[in-house]
Structure 1
Amino acid sequence: MLNDLNKVPKPIVTEDMKEQLQIWLVQSLQNKEEILISYYRDGMAHDMYINVLHIEPMTRTVYCTDTFGLNTEFKFYVKINLFRE
């Protein structure tokens, strides 16, 4: 029940935001730069520092490592925002 109190509505991502997200993901991949992503899952917004390893455009999947060096992947459409350090 307490978890329901922390839930937030799903954010609206505009086309301009999607373009900027794609640019930053590609730059992270090319420059091996760590970026901070915010994403929406199960009614909650989460933050994670990542290094992009590979972007699969056909499946809209981003493969990356997190702060702890663990491999992870996510679908591009669940992103909320990216921040550069």
Structure 2
Amino acid sequence: MRKQLTLSLENQVGALERLLRVVRHRGYAVKRFDAHLPDDQSCLQVCMEVESDRLAFSLVAQLAKLSEVRSLSMRGEAVSVAH
């Protein structure tokens, strides 16, 4: 099952690596990935499509725990990110 995720990450060294490591550890394969840094260079804007037979809840819950994640949505549904 494919899921589309949209995230806003603080522009910190290693933030993308940590994001992708969580995706891999949760058993998801990245099918599409796009990241860009707006002109103000404050937060990376990431859009990715992932695929797995697993439920998306565990992936979303773990991504929301990353300290760099400022916002997270799955197919347009906002996910609470508390730090």
- Settle same-fold status: TM greater than 0.5: no
Question: How high is the TM-score relative to the length of structure 1?
Answer: 0.29
Who wins on radius of gyration, i.e. which is larger? Answer: 1
Asked which structure has the greater RCO (Cα within 8 Å, sep 6+), the reply is: 2
